[in-house]
Amino acid sequence: MADGLQLLRYQQKQAYIPHNDYFEVGSTVNSEWNFNPKTGGSNRFATVFMYLSNVTRGGQTVFVRANMPEGVGHAPPPSEAELAIFPQDSWEQKMTKQCFSKLASYPQKAHAVLFYSQKGNGNIYISELDPMAEHGGCPVLEGTK
């Protein structure tokens, strides 16, 4: 199983809601395919993001289940003016706040991020899907991603 290359461009206010890059066990994408790596099946193993531009503000890749390690700072939280570009109490406002409080990778031109959607358990043939890999593309507040 192989996936193609996906190229995305985000303008101001655009985002990608949090999700996992693997297929849930029992998915009906292909009824004959075993997506469960615990039982010898296969699933998406890793994701690589390569950033093609610098973003002035926002546009992070956020890992919504992971907290920022202690001692590692964040960019300043979004201002009221930045939040005001979205409808009040919208998912975009909520996600923007989350993007500045959770583990996040800030886009820098020619930098890449690699993360795994599965975690090993000591057996090279059997692994398990990792819900900690849930990630999203934060709303761009200023610039283009």
Report pLDDT digits (tens) over 52-75.
Answer: 999 999 999 999 999 888 877 778
Residue 51 lies in a domain: yes
Residue 40 lies in a domain: yes
- Dmax (CA) of the chain: 50
Tokens 């709303």: give the residue: 139
Number of domains present in the structure of the chain: 1
Residue 8 lies in a domain: no
Which are the contacts of 128, defined by CB distance < 8 A and separation ≥ 6? 37, 38, 118, 119, 121
Residue 11 lies in a domain: no
Residue 43 lies in a domain: yes
Q: Which two tokens stand for residue 138?
A: 């934060």
Mean pLDDT for the stretch of residues 21-39: 78
Cα–Cα dist 145/142, whole Å: 9
Residue 80 lies in a domain: yes
User: 16 in helix, strand or coil?
Assistant: strand
List, for residues 84-132, the tens digit of each pLDDT value. 999 999 999 999 999 999 999 999 999 999 999 988 776 666 678 899 9
Residue numbers of the domain that contains 74: 16-142
